[in-house]
Amino acid sequence: MGKCYKFAYMALFSYLQVLKTEEKQVVMTVEEQLAAALAEMENLRMAIAEKDCLIQDLQNKLLYDILRRQILSSEYIQIDESVMPVIDNEKHKARKGYEWCVRDAVSGDVIFYYDRGSRGHHVAREILSRYRGNAQCDGYEAYDQFEKMLGITVYGCWAHVRRKFVDSLKENERLAMEGILYKKTVQGGERCGR
């Protein structure tokens, strides 16, 4: 190969090396830009998901508040508190908690109310403070505070009345049985009267 060809070959080789290096930098820059764009898209997706969750929470709260107002405007509701396991994140175990159930006895609609698992009297006040009508409950002492309140009438429940008589069978079997039979007679009369 002559000197001219060697020189041309060396020049071409050098040019290709420079071009290859520059293209590699261009390729790296495009890859970096693509990675940055993808990261930005992921950040936007996360922000949109967070906003969607906030919107969903607001919609759920609005629907719950509407249903709660509707149920508590009924002339006849049933209310009861039920035991449920509540996870204690600090102790890493379940503890006994309560949720409250309020049912519109006319329409059958139901809401659940939860206040840190409490069964305290303040929870009954929070739920029923503005209620006016007839409230059927289990006789738990938290409802006693409403017996003298104008506009609300508190009723017991036959299942809980019967349970009291059954619980007292050991103490006085004759009187307890008399109560159970009386309850059965009255409840039977109610069924026939419907």
CB neighbour class for 128 (10 Å; exposed up to 12, middle 13-18, buried from 19): buried
Residue numbers of the chain with a pLDDT score lower than 50: 190-194
Which residues form the domain of 33?
1-71
Q: Write down the pLDDT at residue 71.
A: 93
Between the alpha carbon of residue 40 and those of residues 20, 37, 44, 52, 53, the distances in Å are 30, 5, 6, 18, 20
In a domain, 88, yes or no: no
In a domain, 136, yes or no: no
Q: Write down the pLDDT at residue 103.
A: 93
Q: Write down the pLDDT at residue 12.
A: 61
In a domain, 113, yes or no: no
In a domain, 44, yes or no: yes
Q: Write down the pLDDT at residue 6.
A: 60
In this structure, what are the phi and psi dihedrals at residue 88, rounded to the nearest 5 degrees? -95, 105
In a domain, 117, yes or no: no
Output the CA torsion sign for 34, 40, 42, 48.
negative
Q: Write down the pLDDT at residue 185.
A: 76
pTM of the model: 0.61
Domain count, the chain: 1
Name which of 109, 82, 108 is nearest 96 in CA terms. 82
In a domain, 27, yes or no: yes
pLDDT tens-digit series, residues 110-130: 988 887 878 888 888 888 888
In this structure, what are the phi and psi dihedrals at residue 111, rounded to the nearest 5 degrees? -130, 155
Q: Write down the pLDDT at residue 168.
A: 84
Whole-angstrom distance, CA of residue 112 vs CA of residue 117: 12
Q: Write down the pLDDT at residue 172.
A: 85
Which tokens hold the place of 25? Answer: 């930098």
